[in-house]
């Protein structure tokens, strides 16, 4: 790394922390050191933990400027069928299996599950979605939670979803009655997840805006996979080996 690059990186860090390259705090108003400003280091007892922020466009130590503004893109540009196509493209890129259903998904769900197998569902899942399934259904509910060994005997889990983010190919579960608690979607080897078209958004800020921050959120981008072992992709280590996504409804 060259000295110039190093200075620029350190300058950006210092600007983000609200202080000069030498450790002095920068005023958010004039760019000068405010009277009585503390020297670099831990704040005194009772002092605010957060330093003042530098103005957007503040000069960096290595030249140029640092944009400190929080004005980021909050609304995507895709809509309608284009939005759904982006989601499908990202999901398939992550090795998920995608199925389009405009009406009742019961037959599609049954076709994805092994006949006579054991599955688990959250207590709030639409019962009609399982009308065509002939196997054994266990309902996971408060006070009736399946243990990990019991979940390990389930061939699959079927859930709904809270939000799907097209640009990142991410499905979000929020622990609601139709999504269920996190354990039921991590232990079984097969996850069938229903995504309603009205719950598809384009970019992450749109998705976050729809979620409750205090909820137990699970972000899913394709089936579980890791490349930690000799840099070889191994699926099913941290969750389901197979992810089937049913996109339910027609794009407006």
pLDDT, mean of residues 70-97: 90
Q: Which of 163, 177, 166, 168 is nearest to 218 (CA)?
A: 163
Q: Is the pLDDT of residue 67 over 70?
A: no
Dihedral sign for Cα 31, 35, 40, 46, please: negative
Note the pLDDT tens digit of each residue in 181-217: 999 999 999 999 999 999 999 999 999 999 998 999 9
Which residues, listed in sequence order, are joined to residue 196 by a DSSP beta bridge?
248
Q: Is the pLDDT of residue 178 over 80?
A: yes
Note the pLDDT tens digit of each residue in 15-27: 777 655 455 544 4
Dihedral angle at the C-alpha atoms of 143, 183, 171, 125, nearest 10 degrees? -30
Percent of the chain with pLDDT over 90: 58
Q: Residue 199, CB half-sphere, CA atoms under 13 Å: how many?
A: 20
Q: Return the pLDDT at 154.
A: 97
Q: Is the pLDDT of residue 36 over 50?
A: no
80-248 is classed CATH 3.40.1350.10: no
0.95 exceeded by pTM? no
What is the C-alpha to C-alpha distance for residues 155 and 141, in angstroms, rounded to an integer? 18
Sequence ranges of the domains in the chain: 1-71, 80-248
Note the pLDDT tens digit of each residue in 118-131: 999 999 999 999 99
Contact call for residues 193 and 154 (beta carbons, < 8 A): no
């Amino acid at each position: 790394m060259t000295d110039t690059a190093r200075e620029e990186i350190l300058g950006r860090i210092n600007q983000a922390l609200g202080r000069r390259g030498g450790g002095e705090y920068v005023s958010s108003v004039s760019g000068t050191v405010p009277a009585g400003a503390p020297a670099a280091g831990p704040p005194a007892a009772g002092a605010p933990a957060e330093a003042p922020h530098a103005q957007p466009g503040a000069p960096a130590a290595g030249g140029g400027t640092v944009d400190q503004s929080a004005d980021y893109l909050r609304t995507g540009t895709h809509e309608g069928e284009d939005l759904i196509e982006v989601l499908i493209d990202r999901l398939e890129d992550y090795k998920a299996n995608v199925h389009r259903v405009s009406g009742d998904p019961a037959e599609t769900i049954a076709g994805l599950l092994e006949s006579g197998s054991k599955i688990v569902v959250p207590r709030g899942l639409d019962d009609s979605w399982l009308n065509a399934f002939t196997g054994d259904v266990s309902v996971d509910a408060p006070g009736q939670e399946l243990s990990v060994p019991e979940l390990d005997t389930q061939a699959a889990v079927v859930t709904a979803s809270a939000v799907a983010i097209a640009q990142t190919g991410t499905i979000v579960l929020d622990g609601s009655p139709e999504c269920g608690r996190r354990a039921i979607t991590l232990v079984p080897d097969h996850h069938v997840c229903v995504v309603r078209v009205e719950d598809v958004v384009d970019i992450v800020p749109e998705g976050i805006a729809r979620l409750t921050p205090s909820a137990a959120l699970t972000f899913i981008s394709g089936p579980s996979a890791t490349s930690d072992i000799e840099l070889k992709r191994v699926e099913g280590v941290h969750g389901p080996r197979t992810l089937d996504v049913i996109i339910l409804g027609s794009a407006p």
